[in-house]
């Protein structure tokens, strides 16, 4: 494994950083957070640069880049905003599921539109009684002539209320099969008749919005099913490694920004006649924080390299997700401590990291579930 980047990857990293410095300054991020606005304009500019097509084949207007390249993009983007980086990835992963499992008509229709930012894609899995136990979902779809009729409820759905959004909805299509076997994936426009979306007010992640989604006799064409009937669980798992890898990249980029902010404050803030960073308690805290970021970065890039080599890496991805998410949550709390009252003030960005980071040890596979995956990969029969 090489620890350096290729020249092409260095250029990619610099181009993302230059764009974000120019188009996504702290004032812009702060405004979106305070007004709870979706970053439509910024994503539109990214689409013009072809960024939404980075991991897709050229035949679908993509760039065909690998996992390491995608992690580079996520890390650099999240240095400016974890939430903007996370939202960037949501459409892409739903599109990759269509790429891997859809038919040619679906691929040719949805993927180019998503890459051009003409449509957005979101994922709809979690239900009131199906979270980590996702296979227990009960939202149903019944075939009626040439249409699927969907009834049920989803919760904690990110960006479901975005304009021109199409939800990738996992539904139960056969109640007589074991729970992992009777699930299918159906594409449902958010503005489809019978769909009701209710905003859930949350502590953080205010730009993308978190929603409850209700389906009452929602009819969509039979052709909106992705993949084979009752094969939804396999589809759900098929993109999990790359999705979590990208998530890990957003943790390390955001964590690095937290350290940088706390470090700068420790150099500027004077108490007892000297900068607080010169006190051993603060200096050692910052040293530990940077060490944790670098450890999370190495875990992430190792897993991404393994993925690009075609090697099994679910354990390594889970380790990176576990450590990276807990690192961001822990470091944002420590950053608040170092900045004191300034960190608690809405005029400074540390409080936003504190708010945004709290959910990431829960979402996209909780820390407890990651530990279960890792321990099972070690040969333990953990239940």
What are the catalytic residues? Answer: 243
Count CA atoms closer than 13 A to 46's CA, side-chain side: 26
Residue 7 burial (C-beta neighbours within 10 Å; 0-12, 13-18, 19+): exposed
What is the separation of C-alpha 21 from the centre of its chain, rounded to a whole number of angstroms?
21
Q: How far is CA 136 from CA 29, 208, 273, in A?
A: 37, 26, 60
Residues in the chain: 383
Neighbours of 312 (CB within 10 A): 11
Among residues 97, 156, 149, 153, the alpha carbon closest in space to that of 121 is found at: 97
Q: What whole-number distance in Å separates Cα of residue 341 and Cα of residue 131? A: 36
Q: Determine which helix (DSSP H) or strand (DSSP E) holds 26, and give its type and residue range.
A: helix 26-35
Q: Which of 5, 11, 12 is nearest to 305 (CA)?
A: 5
CA pair distance 143, 80, nearest whole angstrom: 45
**What are the residues whose beta carbons fall under 8 Å from the beta carbon of 231, sequence distance 6 or more?**
101, 184
CA 314 from centre of chain: 17
């Amino acid at each position: 494994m090489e620890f350096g980047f290729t020249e092409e990857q260095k250029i990619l990293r610099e181009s993302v950083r230059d764009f974000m410095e120019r188009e996504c300054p702290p004032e812009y991020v702060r405004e979106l957070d305070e007004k709870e606005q979706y970053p439509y304009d910024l994503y539109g500019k990214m689409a013009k640069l072809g960024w939404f097509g980075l991991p897709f084949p050229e035949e679908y207007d993509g760039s065909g880049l690998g996992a390491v390249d995608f992690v580079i993009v996520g890390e650099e983007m999240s240095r400016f905003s974890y939430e903007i980086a996370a939202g960037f990835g949501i459409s892409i992963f739903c599109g990759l599921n269509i790429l891997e499992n859809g038919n040619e008509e679906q691929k040719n229709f949805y993927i180019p539109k998503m890459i051009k930012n003409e449509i957005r894609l979101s994922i709809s899995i979690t239900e009131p009684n199906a979270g980590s136990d996702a296979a227990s979902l009960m939202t149903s779809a019944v075939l009626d002539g040439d249409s699927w009729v969907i009834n049920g409820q989803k919760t904690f759905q990110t960006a479901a209320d975005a304009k021109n959004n199409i939800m990738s909805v996992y539904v139960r299509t056969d109640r007589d099969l074991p729970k992992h076997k009777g699930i299918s994936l159906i594409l449902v426009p958010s503005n489809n008749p019978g769909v009701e979306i209710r905003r859930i007010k949350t502590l953080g992640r205010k730009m993308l919005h978190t929603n409850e989604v209700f389906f009452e006799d929602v009819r969509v064409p039979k052709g909106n099913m992705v993949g084979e009937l009752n094969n939804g669980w396999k589809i759900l798992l098929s993109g999990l490694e790359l999705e979590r890898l990208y998530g890990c990249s957003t943790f390390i980029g955001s964590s690095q920004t937290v350290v940088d902010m706390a470090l700068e404050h420790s150099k500027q803030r004077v108490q007892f006649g000297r900068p607080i960073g010169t006190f051993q308690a603060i200096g050692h805290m910052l040293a530990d924080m940077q060490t944790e970021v670098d450890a999370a970065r190495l875990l992430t890039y190792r897993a991404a390299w393994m993925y690009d080599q075609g090697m099994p890496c679910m354990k390594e991805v889970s380790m990176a997700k576990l450590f990276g998410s807990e690192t961001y949550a822990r470091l944002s709390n420590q950053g608040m401590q170092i900045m004191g009252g300034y960190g608690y003030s809405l005029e400074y960005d540390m409080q936003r990291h504190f708010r945004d980071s709290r959910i990431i040890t829960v979402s996209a596979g909780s820390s407890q579930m990651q530990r279960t995956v890792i321990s099972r990969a070690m040969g333990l029969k953990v239940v």
